[in-house]
Amino acid sequence: MIPAPLFSAQNLVKHFRLKGGLLGSSRGVVRAVDNVSFDLAEGETLGIVGESGCGKSTTARLIVDLISPDAGTITLGGKLLGKHISARELRRQIQMVFQDSYASLNPRLTMEDAIAFGPKVNGMSPQQAARLAHELLERVGLEPRRFAGRYPHELSGGQRQRVNIARALAFSPKIVVLDESVSALDKSVEAQVLNLLADLKAELGLTYVFISHDLNVVRHMSDRVMVMYLGQVAEIGTVEAIYSAPAHPYTAALLSAMPSMDPDRRTMEAPLTGDPPNPINPPAGCRFHTRCKHADTICAAVEPGLFGLPGEGHQVACHIHIPGSNHRNRGVEA
């Protein structure tokens, strides 16, 4: 029997109304997340990739309930959010680490106080919370005697991000959402923080959602990868399936745009041209059809749903793979 997922998002929709029209009316709707579904198994890392504006950060905010979906459901441990589990409890069990390590910390709080703040608000005594802060500083590789009394401006970007990870761990979460959490760091510091994240995951049995524009880092960190395009899931599957046999032309284009040190693997033609279309008025049918070199008549007319491919949980939203779609390239590799 397949175990129930730790976390499940079904048919999530989040649209943002643009104000500024005549007499305060709306100028349109940004369809940031449109019918997105995925599961998270306990202990796995799900990578989320896609160009900016694809909806990955909105998805992250929906997962941690920083914003509420317009439609769709979220369950954690089989408990439906809003019915069997409160938003407050979900937010305790799912923590997030953001990209901007400085903005995430209160400049007036020492590192000890920053980490102890959340537990104290949740009823822990000041002494216990301070002890926990010291333990967590140690755990993220910052010697408590040196760092507990420091302020954010006295730390490097990598050290601040370690403190942000410690703050997230102070709630003993089940899931940590890492939204471009290492993207602002130098490459050597980034590698150290990635190693720390891998160690913490193994030690504490954490489950990660790892969002990054860096496909090399996502490959290194993830068990499965979800590729998003204009607010929808284009493809989802194991790292092996996505990186060695991408089925969606968008995934294939993203991968061939990855920088490579191997001169034999350099891309000579631009794999992906132009910016993604405006999410206020996305193209009909397959949203990628305006940039897809395989686009056919059906692509502009009918939106492809996610279709299961051979291989563990590999799904793709592309007419090339949907039986009976009449796409001229039906069955041809992306």
304 binds ligand SF4 per the rule CB under 6 A: yes
Closer to ligand SF4 by Cβ: residue 167 or 314:
314
In the complex, minimum distance from the CB of residue 234 to ligand SF4, in angstroms, rounded to a whole number: 7
In the complex, minimum distance from the CB of residue 257 to ligand SF4, in angstroms, rounded to a whole number: 16
Residue among 162, 108, 106 at smallest CA distance from 138: 162
231 binds ligand SF4 per the rule CB under 6 A: no
Site for ligand SF4 in 314-333 (CB under 6 A): 318-320
Closer to ligand SF4 by Cβ: residue 114 or 295:
295
In the complex, minimum distance from the CB of residue 306 to ligand SF4, in angstroms, rounded to a whole number: 12
Closer to ligand SF4 by Cβ: residue 125 or 297:
297
Q: Which of these ranges, 70-78, 85-93, 113-121, 312-320, lies near ligand SF4 under the rule CB under 6 A?
A: 312-320
289 binds ligand SF4 per the rule CB under 6 A: yes
286 binds ligand SF4 per the rule CB under 6 A: yes
In the complex, minimum distance from the CB of residue 49 to ligand SF4, in angstroms, rounded to a whole number: 16
Site for ligand SF4 in 242-261 (CB under 6 A): 248-249
Interatomic CA distance for residues 168 and 228, integer angstroms: 26
Q: Which of these ranges, 78-86, 170-178, 238-246, 283-291, lies near ligand SF4 under the rule CB under 6 A?
A: 283-291
Residues in CB range of 34: below 8 A, 6 or more apart: 13, 15, 55, 230, 231, 232, 282
Which residue among 38, 147, 208, 288 contacts ligand SF4 (CB under 6 A)?
Answer: 288
Instruction: Provide the β-strand partners of residue 10.
Output: 73
200 binds ligand SF4 per the rule CB under 6 A: no
Which residue among 162, 167, 294, 314 contacts ligand SF4 (CB under 6 A)?
Answer: 294
Kindly state the number of chain residues that form the binding site for ligand SF4, as judged by CB under 6 A: 13
Closer to ligand SF4 by Cβ: residue 14 or 294:
294
306 binds ligand SF4 per the rule CB under 6 A: no
174 binds ligand SF4 per the rule CB under 6 A: no
Closer to ligand SF4 by Cβ: residue 152 or 304:
304
Residue among 42, 48, 49, 52 at smallest CA distance from 6: 42
Closer to ligand SF4 by Cβ: residue 183 or 290:
290
299 binds ligand SF4 per the rule CB under 6 A: yes
CA dihedral 60, 61, 62, 66 (to 10 degrees): 150
In the complex, minimum distance from the CB of residue 301 to ligand SF4, in angstroms, rounded to a whole number: 10
292 binds ligand SF4 per the rule CB under 6 A: yes
Site of interaction with ligand SF4 (CB under 6 A) = 248-249, 286, 288-289, 292, 294-295, 299, 304, 318-320
